[in-house]
A and B are shown apart, each in its own frame.
Chain A
């Protein structure tokens, strides 16, 4: 029985057991009384807190707290947090998460002494956060995911940041938070109160583009696609007309693997071409759904719309004609990447990072191979919208209710954004020691993107290239400019960088997407509902099976209707009702 029990730990039980052990410890803490537990767990903190408290009562006039986005705490305050360590990241010599340029800057410029209560490998961060949440011994602020965020809000252990944000966030910080009609902030707002600071979101970094082997296009005598019809013709020509000129019928037109919805070898872009916006990843959380408003003003699920069926029909036809690898349903992204890099497949839909992986070395290593990058095309006269799920944040900073200075993390964020996006200072981004580059931007305990930064940089690089004047470029942009220049001077290893920043590169195309409003985002901005969490994993499996079997021809196309009706019956209608009633529909 014992060994049996141990064997079973492997899958299901492990996490639950871990949580239990933790909870038991946590309860002990609670039983011994909250004051005692505080004193036990961090005697140093409380001692210094007392000192600060004493100081502020006795010399309250001398102590200053900033009363706006800038300013400094005097005397300095201590701010606790917790960190995850990226196991792959190398730190510059002498730096650590406890002591680095950010920590020093925060201390010097803001009077904030950062203290990391613990640091773990990023793989363990989720578990350790669950432990921290269970123990109730939260740091002043920490980073959590969407689900943990919701739990913390319900448990009432985190601070309302509405006033702090209004008073302390700098214009630049507010600008980054309020892009896209404030969608980022909306996702962090519960019952009208701002409960967290979004880490990500607001950008469209998962929108897809079409990647096609240019040398193959020339070999089969075709032009880059203007419509979905062209895409299908190219895929068929790549399959049947021997695009690699080796005299063998050994190539496929469109790359696809079992993940179906993916930034590489995915189908998102293909569906978008037919104005269909399904999204339900094979791996990971099944609760990310795309919703759209129907003609009656009510929300509908994007995946059950008739446009999806149209696109599925085209895919089934492509598969039948041999344009898709016959074993796509059992290969993963690594394997589909192998097929492409070994010259078996000539076209894929993918995100902006595809030039950096997996096709990054093909230009250098495979004679004649060159990839062209094209924006999504449409099946009719309406332009194709590229779907994006990253407009909504998935991670948040939350501040403990017990924190004495709930506004302090916002001040940190102001400084971070100022150093990296306001007046770019390379020392805060990347430092070079002995010819080796180290990214130091990730050492900051708060991070925040500036949505649209990369397309902006690409535009600046191209403007500088045209005018020949690089004086307007900041250090970051100058770096990209140099990479493009190196590629043009014949350095083939700079191919990927060139594809990122050049005029026909991915960031220019992403910039066009957002400039021309060619992005589709879900109408629902709330968190996963109860039924989503309970039903989505098994509903997702059904959908993936449906799509796979229709493409492979083992089920007729009309099976789509049967599946869509079944989805509504087995929980889908409840999900729609919840979403419609949530009040978080745009």
Chain B
């Protein structure tokens, strides 16, 4: 049987080859560069003739005063983004699902999806105006409610929450679509049975819809854990300023300023490698969790 399969399938396998070659060249080949993390890399000398420094760069990073602060910020911001990115689309999807006017539902769906297509450069420009303490609409609303004005982008207490909030604002439309699709796939006979048992809309949501989409929720959340150290270079880079470095600086922006802006390739690579190792551990854990709880597997 396997022989017959092979005869039928070999063209399909052949089609894999270009992708495999590209992956080898562009994803595995460059891994040789990890060596740079262990040497005093000078471009003109090349990898093999640059001075070997062992773990020097890792020690340097360890003793830099900001490293722990930056690491903490990264994890904190990423964690809030994951929670926000889980809750906001889930609630929106459940609410949208209750709306029976198709055109309204579609319109809302499109509008919340729209920011996903804006780049952070544009979003940052918009947010700067919207969140301004003197003229921004958010602060005008706050003062109308009797609150003090808040300098959202310049206050280091608020900044991480602004990062999480704006990230959710930009991306939750995307998650909403995924959850809506999952809800659509729920077997209608379950609802009919629930109605026969006397369940109202709230009970239907609680006992049919939510249990039905729990697997996909767990799956998306566990996968997001693997990204915990990617707190979003584009977003932070476009929104932060020196006054909020203490709470808003993440690993990526820090490496950019410390490593690349002054051509310390060795240090930059060391941080990248460090990040990769942690990411590998996290993504392994989340894969394990996804396998356990949602029966998700790649092969």
Interface residues of A (CB under 8 A from B): 1-2, 4-8, 10-13, 15-17, 19-21, 23-24, 26-27, 130, 133-134, 136, 147, 151-152, 154-155, 157, 258, 282, 284-287, 326-327, 329-331, 335, 533-534, 536-538, 541, 544-545, 548-549, 552, 554, 570
Whether the pair B256, A11 counts as a contact (CB closer than 8 A) is yes
At the interface, yes or no: B243 with Cβ under 8 Å from chain A?
A: yes
Q: Is the CB of A12 within 8 A of B47?
A: no
Of A1, A7, A136, A549, which is in contact with the most chain B CB atoms at under 10 Å from its CB? Answer: A1
CA distance A80 to B65 in the complex (A): 47
Q: Look across to chain A and name the residue whose beta carbon is closest to the beta carbon of B237.
A: A11
B20 to chain A, nearest CB (A): 12
Flag if A8 contacts B275 (CB, 8 Å).
Answer: yes
Bound state CA distance, A12 and B33, in angstroms? 12
Chain B positions within 8 Å of A10 at CB level:
233-234, 252
Bound CA–CA A548/B43 (angstroms): 36
Besides the known contacts A12-B259, A544-B242, 9 further A-B residue pairs in the complex with CB atoms under 8 A apart: A1-B283, A11-B233, A16-B36, A16-B272, A286-B262, A326-B151, A534-B60, A534-B264, A536-B262
Closest partner residue, chain B, to A155 (CB atom): B44
Indicate whether A16 sits within 8 Å of B65 (C-beta atoms), given known contacts A1-B283, A2-B27, A327-B154: no
Q: Looking at the complex, which one of B30, B230, B258 makes contact with A20 (CB distance below 8 Å)?
A: B30
Task: Check if B271 sits within 8 Å of A329, measured CB to CB.
Answer: no
Judged by DSSP, the binding face of B is helix
Residues of A within 8 A of B263 (CB): 147, 533
**Judging by beta carbons under 8 Å apart, are A327 and B132 in contact?**
yes
Closest chain B residue, CB of each to CB of A283: B261
Task: Return the contact of A538 from the options B66, B128, B260 (Cβ within 8 A).
Answer: B66
Q: Is B147 an interface residue (CB 8 A)?
A: no
Q: Give 17 pairs: A residue, B residue, CB < 8 Å, sorted on A.
A: A5-B27, A8-B279, A10-B252, A11-B260, A12-B268, A16-B36, A17-B33, A19-B33, A24-B29, A27-B48, A155-B42, A285-B261, A285-B262, A286-B261, A537-B258, A538-B65, A549-B243
Give A468 to B275 CA distance when docked, in angstroms: 70
Nearest CB of chain A from residue B279's CB, rounded to whole Å: 6
Most-contacted residue by chain A among B134, B154, B230 (CB, 10 A): B154
CB nearest neighbor in B for A257: B241
A258 B242 Cβ-Cβ under 8 A: yes
Cβ-defined contact, A537 with B243, below 8 A: no
Q: Is B176 among interface residues, defined by CB-CB distance under 8 A?
A: no
Question: Hey, which chain A residues are within 8 Å of B35, CB to CB?
Answer: 20
**Are A537 and B261 closer than 8 Å at their CB atoms?**
yes
User: Do residues A2 and B272 form an inter-chain contact, with CB atoms below 8 A?
Assistant: no
B46 touches A26 (CB 8 A): yes
Chain A residues near B29 (CB-CB < 8 A): 21, 24
List 6 tightest A-B contacts by C-beta distance, closest first. Answer: A20-B33, A17-B30, A544-B242, A23-B46, A133-B44, A12-B255
B265–A16 CB distance below 8 A: yes
Q: Which of B30, B35, B133, B245 lies at the interface centre, i.e. has the most chain A CB atoms within 10 A of its CB?
A: B30
Instruction: Point out the residues of chain B lying under 8 angstroms from A330, CB to CB.
Output: 128, 153-154, 241, 243
Q: Given that A1-B280, A2-B27, A541-B242 are known contacts, is A13 also in contact with B272, CB under 8 Å in the complex?
A: yes
* Closest chain A residue, CB of each to CB of B27: A2
CA of A2 to CA of B29, assembled, Å: 13
B166 contacts partner chain A, Cβ-Cβ < 8 Å: no
| CA of A554 to CA of B242, assembled, Å | 13
Q: Find A27's partner among B36, B47, B153, B275 (CB 8 Å cutoff).
A: B47
Residues on B with C-beta less than 8 A from A136 are: 44
Which chain A residues lie closer than 8 Å to B134 at the CB level?
326-327
Q: How many angstroms between the C-alpha atoms of A176 and B263 in the bound complex?
A: 31
Residues of A within 8 Å of B260, CB to CB, are: 11-12, 15
- Which chain A positions have C-beta within 8 A of B214? none
Docked Cα-Cα span, A147 to B35, in Å, equals 22
Shortest beta-carbon distance from B184 to chain A in Å: 27
Q: Interface size of B by Cβ–Cβ distance < 8 Å? A: 59
Q: Are A537 and B128 in contact (CB under 8 A)?
A: no
Instruction: Give the CA-CA distance A20 to B242 in the complex, in Å.
Output: 32
In the complex, whether B64 has a CB less than 8 A from a CB of chain A is yes
B interface residue numbers (CB < 8 A to A): 23, 27, 29-30, 32-33, 35-36, 41-48, 60, 64-66, 128, 132-134, 151, 153-154, 226-227, 230, 233-234, 241-243, 245-246, 252-253, 255-265, 268-269, 271-272, 275-276, 279-280, 283
> A152 with B242: in contact, given A16-B269, A541-B257 (CB under 8 Å)?
no
A533 touches B226 (CB 8 A): no
* Residues on the B chain within 8 Å of A549, using CB: 243
Interchain CB contact under 8 A, B46 and A27: yes
Q: Which residues of A contact B47 (CB under 8 A)?
A: 20, 23-24, 27
Chain B residues near A258: list those with CB within 8 A: 241-242
User: Are A152 and B36 in contact, CB atoms less than 8 angstroms apart?
Assistant: no
Chain B residues within 8 Å of A12, by CB:
252, 255-256, 259-260, 268-269, 271-272, 275
> Are A2 and B23 within 8 A (Cβ)?
yes
Q: Is the CB of B259 within 8 A of A533?
A: no
> How distant is A93 from chain B, measured CB to nearest CB, in Å?
35
Answer whether A538 and B64 are a contact pair too, CB < 8 Å, given A4-B227, A8-B272, A544-B242.
Answer: yes
User: Given the complex of chains A and B, what is the CA–CA distance between A16 and B227 in angstroms?
Assistant: 21
Q: State in angstroms the CA–CA spacing of A286 and B280 once bound together.
A: 33
User: Which single residue of chain B is at the shortest CB-CB distance from A544?
Assistant: B242
Tell me how far the C-beta of A286 lies from the nearest C-beta in chain B, rounded to whole angstroms.
Answer: 6
- Which one of A24, A26, A152, A538 contacts B32 once the chains associate, using CB atoms below 8 Å? A24
Q: Which residues of B contact A6 (CB under 8 A)?
A: 27
Q: Is the CB of B243 within 8 A of A548?
A: yes
Which of A2, A11, A287, A335 has the most B CB atoms < 10 Å from its CB?
Answer: A11
Contact A16 B151 (CB under 8 A): no
B63 nearest CB across to chain A (Å): 10
Question: Which chain B residues lie closer than 8 Å to A17 at the CB level?
Answer: 30, 33
Shortest CB-to-CB span from A234 to chain B, Å, is 22
List the B residue with the shortest CB-CB distance to A19.
B43
Please tell me if the beta carbons of B66 and A329 are within 8 angstroms of each other in the complex. Answer: no
Known: A10-B252, A12-B259, A329-B243. A151 touches B44 (CB 8 A): yes
User: Is there an interface contact between B30 and A329, defined as CB atoms closer than 8 Å?
Assistant: no
> Closest residue to B233 on the A side, CB-wise?
A11
Q: With CB as the reference atom, state the residue of chain B lying closest to A5.
A: B27
Residues of B with C-beta under 8 A to A133: 43-44
Residue of A nearest to B267 (CB): A534
Provide the bound-state CA to CA distance between A154 and B43, in Å.
12
Least Cβ distance of B197 to chain A in Å? 44
| Residues on the A chain within 8 Å of B264, using CB | 533-534
Residue of A20, A26, A538 with most chain B CB atoms under a 10 A cut-off: A20
Q: Are A11 and B43 in contact (CB-based, < 8 A)? A: no
Minimum C-beta distance from A562 to chain B (A): 14
Distance of B227 from chain A, by nearest CB (Å): 7
Most chain A beta carbons < 10 A, residue from B64, B263, B283: B263
Closest-CB distance, A178 to chain B (whole angstroms): 30
Measured between beta carbons, the chain A residues less than 8 angstroms from B36 are 16, 19-20
Which A residues lie within 8 Å of B227 (CB)?
4, 7
Q: Which of B42, B252, B268, B272 contacts A151 (CB 8 A)?
A: B42
A534 and B56 alpha carbons, distance in the complex (Å): 13
Question: What B residues does A152 contact at CB under 8 A?
Answer: 44
Determine the distance from Cα of A31 to Cα of B34 in the docked complex, in whole angstroms.
22
In the assembled complex, which residues on chain A have CB atoms less than 8 Å from the CB atom of B283? 1, 4
Given contacts A21-B30, A541-B257, contact A11 B265 (CB under 8 A): no
Asked if B128 and A335 sit within 8 Å, CB to CB, the answer is: yes
- Residues A134 and B44 in contact in the complex (CB < 8 Å), given A21-B29, A147-B263: yes
